[in-house]
Amino acid sequence: MRQAGSTSSPWVSRRDRAAERQSKRDAVLRTAVRFFNAQGFHATSLDDVARALSVTKPTIYHYFSNKDEILFECVRLGLETIRDATEAAHADGGPARDRLETFMREYALVMTRDFGICVTRTSDDQLGDESRAKFRALKREINEGLQSLVEEGMRDGSLAPGNAQVVAFTVAGALNWIARWYRPEGGLSAQQVADNTVATLIHGLIPRAPAS
Amino acid sequence: MRQAGSTSSPWVSRRDRAAERQSKRDAVLRTAVRFFNAQGFHATSLDDVARALSVTKPTIYHYFSNKDEILFECVRLGLETIRDATEAAHADGGPARDRLETFMREYALVMTRDFGICVTRTSDDQLGDESRAKFRALKREINEGLQSLVEEGMRDGSLAPGNAQVVAFTVAGALNWIARWYRPEGGLSAQQVADNTVATLIHGLIPRAPAS
DNA sequence: ACCTTAGGTTACTTGCGAGTATACAGTTCA
DNA sequence: TGAACTGTATACTCGCAAGTAACCTAAGGT
């Protein structure tokens, strides 16, 4: 630690205290999410996490009030990244299809990273009542954003007509699934996976004449 | 119970004993899988399952040796249905694309039913070592079948060229996801969901000239 | 010099739920 | 009639991991 603040002076503490606390909180989350992804939430004890950080369990309780909060913070970090991308996709101009494609690519990339992976591995029965409600709300928000983007595209003709809800879930499923199979050490980079998946969804499985 | 065997006679027991035992075993699985899907595996105690069947926990242990076995049998039932469909798809003649499409539709339908739902809700860290190995093996078998079907289609030109592995995972993800969002009481029938999802995957998101 | 607070520890409580020991009733078959 | 087995219940053990109590230390402000 002792990573100093803006000016590097021995008189660390003023506003830096808060920053240091935050950085330790983050460290707990980063460590916890790896365990959750590797072993599952229930199979991970806070002692595991503590040990990995060379501290003890009560220390963790100094930063979080319970295990639930830790899990929720993990999924929140993943979900908020995606939600921000949804909002960006709506704000941008241009044909809906292009905005959708950009969004999908971003979504896919999140799914190759720890917090994104945690989102799809977490089912709401693992969370307490209040966290579960927030978790669901965030997911719904994202899904509605995706679906409305699809609807827009169907309206403006840049997307093929169909059932927007099913299409949105199909896209979400294909993208979420990346979190379940992607391995960084495998042959493909995250970017390649994202590009290929998005291309498959956009163009479909059967051949198509060169012109898009 | 007392549902009798082939001939309806009061002398029930001979070969029927085994059948009755089997039917009770099945009842445990059907009840358990509903709980697992509704509340999650860890959040479901065997007392819950027992109570729902109006028996007690030791009775369940009379049919299964542990909780693990119950979960594994649930996912096995789901997975084997899919695997059989894979094999059928390989055995059939005709262009690979058609066989793939049939297989996808069947896969999608399984994902609307209890045991199929359980498959995608179960992550391997919930299983013991031996069950986990079998679970993974079954899933791999299915995925390899799917991927080889895709490769075949790319070779014979009935599918667009691309990275067969990514395509297979994209398809699997979209189909698996059905288990996470489909609700029978919602507006769409299982068949409609299957047809729409498959159509989206086959044709892609962007418009296409009428001729396939 | 002293009080307070933050960050940490050791050692505990506690509850839940998986799994078991044991007993008992009914049925089959010798 | 009675041995053996099957299916079920009651009442227990037991371990694990979440969460807590109580205590320690060092640093900052005054």
For B137-149, write each residue's pLDDT tens digit.
Answer: 999 999 999 999 9
% of chain B surpassing 70 pLDDT:
92
Distance CA B15, CA A120 (A): 47
- pLDDT at residue number B12: 54
Instruction: Using 70 as the pLDDT threshold, list the residues of chain A that sit under it.
Output: 1-15, 210-212
Cβ(B56)–Cβ(B50) below 8 Å? yes
What average pLDDT score do residues B73-78 get?
98
pLDDT at B1: 39
Distance of CA B75 to the CA centre of its chain: 7
Instruction: Count CB atoms within 10 A of the CB of residue B62.
Output: 13
SS3 content of chain A, % helix, strand, coil (to 5): 70, 0, 30
> Above 90 in pLDDT, residue B7?
no
Can you give the pLDDT at residue A12? 56
pTM recorded for the entire structure? 0.92
> Which pLDDT score is estimated for A6?
43
Give per-residue pLDDT as tens, B25-53: 999 999 999 999 999 999 999 999 999 99
- How close, in Å, is residue A32 to chain B by CA atoms? 16
Residues of B (59-88) whose Cβ lies below 8 Å from A: none
CB-based contact, A163 to chain B, within 8 Å: yes
In the predicted model, is pLDDT for residue B92 greater than 90? no
* Cβ neighbourhood burial of A141 (10 Å; 0-12, 13-18, 19+): middle
Residue in B with minimal Cα distance to A44: B125
What whole-number percentage of chain B has pLDDT above 90? 84
The per-residue pLDDT for A98 is 96
The answer to whether residue B2 scores a pLDDT higher than 50 is no
Q: Which residues of chain A are within 8 Å of residue B102 when distances are taken between CB atoms?
A: none
B69 CB-to-strand C distance under 7 Å = no
Are A5 and A15 within 8 A, CB to CB? yes
Which residues of B in 27-56 have their CB below 7 Å from strand C's atoms?
A: 43-47
| Both tokens assigned to B162 | 């691309």
Q: Do A208 and B157 touch (CB under 8 A)?
A: no
Q: Are B193 and B182 in contact (CB under 8 A)?
A: yes
- Residue B15 confidence (pLDDT): 65
Q: What pLDDT is recorded for position B99?
A: 97
The predicted pLDDT at position B14 comes to: 55
Digit-coded pLDDT (tens) for B170-212: 999 999 999 999 999 999 999 999 999 999 999 999 988 765 4
CB contact under 8 A, B177 and A170: yes
Angle at the Cα of B162 from the Cα atoms of B123 and B100, rounded to 5 degrees: 65
| Ordered alpha helix ranges (H), B64-163 | 67-91, 96-110, 114-121, 129-156
Give the residue from chain B lying closest to A195, CA to CA. B166
Interchain CB contact of A203 with B (< 8 Å): yes
